[in-house]
Amino acid sequence: MRKEMLTGLALLLAGALDAGVASGQQPAKNAKNETQAPAPSAAVDPGYKIGPQDVLRVDVWKEAEISRSVPVRPDGKISLPLLNDVQAAGLTAMELANLISEGLKKYITSPQVTVTVSEINSRRIYVTGEVTRPGAFALLPAMTALQGVTSAGGFTQFANPKKIYVLRNENGKQVKHPFNYKAVLDGKAEDIPLQPGDTIVVP
């Protein structure tokens, strides 16, 4: 009887230890997975159309001599070994990768090509007037007028933050969109999502 009780206790302890190990290992595994998971890419929407002055990273698997970072020229093309000039502007990264892959099939068996937009320079906004650093700035994903003003270093002492406007080309006409900086900060007005070519004017 005593032997059976001891055996039963041993089995219970073993089961408890197994459960404890399993419950202890699972969070560790999850934590490891979370650590190793890739961070969300800043990057670029898969539907983004490449434009002149963007910088691309072209990787061809096992072909280090072809893989490289290349700028998109003003004519919308990039230069690559074997292919020379390739039209890039107006295509998505996936479309360009497929185009390069097709071209390389003449020289390489089953080429695997990846294209990444590493710098977006074709999409710009402009900030002018009473700001610290007026000029052209890269249009980041989901960028707003508030962020555009911040990119320009904020206001000078003569700025009128209540009279700012975003100048936008709509159907061939310049349209003013009022932007009250203080009202946006106070939550009393909506921020303005920026579009390529917008100009923020700070009087």
Per-residue pLDDT averaged across 47-60, rounded?
Answer: 91
Residue 49, CB-side half-sphere exposure with 13 Å CA sphere? 7
Residue 21 reports pLDDT greater than 50 = no
Task: List residues bridging with 115 in a β-sheet.
Answer: 58
Residue 27 tokens, joined:
């969070």
* Beta strands per DSSP E along the chain: 55-60, 68-71, 77-80, 84-87, 113-119, 124-129, 135-138, 164-170, 173-179, 199-202
Per-residue pLDDT averaged across 66-80, rounded?
Answer: 94
Model pTM score: 0.56
Task: List residues bridging with 135 in a β-sheet.
Answer: 127
Distance between CA atoms of residues 3 and 24, nearest Å: 31
The whole-number pLDDT of residue 165 equals 97
Under 8 Å between Cβ of 56 and 78: yes
The whole-number pLDDT of residue 171 equals 87
What's the start-to-end Cα distance of the chain, in Å?
A: 94
Residue 17 reports pLDDT greater than 60 = no
Could you give the angle at the alpha carbon of 186 between the alpha carbons of 181 and 192, nearest 5°? 45
Residue 1 reports pLDDT greater than 60 = no
Under 8 Å between Cβ of 137 and 126: yes
Give CA separation, 31 vs 25, 40, 105, 194, in Å. 10, 17, 42, 38
Residue 119 reports pLDDT greater than 60 = yes
Under 8 Å between Cβ of 200 and 127: yes
Alpha helices in 129-188 (DSSP H): 145-151, 181-185
